[in-house]
A = this chain, B = another copy of it.
Amino acid sequence: MVRVQHGGGAARTKRADARRNEKALLDAAAEVFVASGVDAPVRDIAAAAGVGVGTIYRHFPNRADLITAVYRHQVEACAEAGPALLATEATPYAALVRWIDLFVDFLVTKHGLAAVMQSDGPGFATLHAWFLDRLVPVCNQLFAAAAESGEIRSGLDPYEVMRAVGNLCVGAEGDPRYDARRVVGLLVAGLRTADRPG
């Protein structure tokens, strides 16, 4: 009723405002996550976004919701890249390698995000599930293609490999002797068929 009193235009304006607000909030949260990790104090995020903490709780009741929202677009892009790579790369294995590279790029540049892949806290369960729901099918597709083309071993669980890749990206920053891409490269090399031609 209140909405009716305000009229449709007002409601739309409101919604637009809310959206702008949410967008600003997500941008700010992303920055804070990079700087302080996904465990950053809620107040810091609110301050960075220029909103009150209450606003954050309204939009994202739990932290996982916020993290999910923050990275949704990027994860989305990563997910969509799978089929595309499969279509453009020379072989399914090449596509798989490229895709994993994208995944790694995504993870290592987000301080602390990789930890999400391993976190067992109940609050992160939703986020965890969301990541998997969105990316594992893509990964499945790539693995299936590469297995069918005989480029990688059969019997591999794409989920497990993704989880492994995620783990390898944890804490990659700040240690000059540890290069997540390099060790992921080793892992990916290990996927190849045991008795491949060369």
Contacts and interface: CB of A to CB of B under 8 A. Distances in A.
A16 interface: no
Given A118-B170, A170-B118, A183-B187, A175 B161 contact: no
Interface string A170-187: 110011011100110111
A177 B162 CA distance: 11
A129 to B, nearest CB: 12
A186 B190 contact: yes
A36 to B, nearest CB: 12
Interface residues of chain A: helix, strand, loop or mixed (majority)? helix
A130 interface: no
Contact of A160 (B167, B183, B187, B191): B183
Interface residues of A, number: 31
Contacts of A190: 185-191
Contact of A164 (B157, B168, B195, B198): B168
A198 B198 contact: no
Contacts of A157: 177
Interface string A126-148: 00000000000000000000000
Interface of A: 117-120, 157, 159-161, 163-164, 167-168, 170-171, 174-175, 177-179, 182-183, 185-191, 194-195, 198
8 contacts: A160-B182, A167-B167, A167-B171, A167-B183, A185-B190, A186-B187, A188-B190, A189-B194
A-B residue pairs, 9 tightest by C-beta: A118-B171, A190-B190, A189-B190, A186-B190, A164-B183, A167-B167, A163-B178, A187-B187, A118-B170
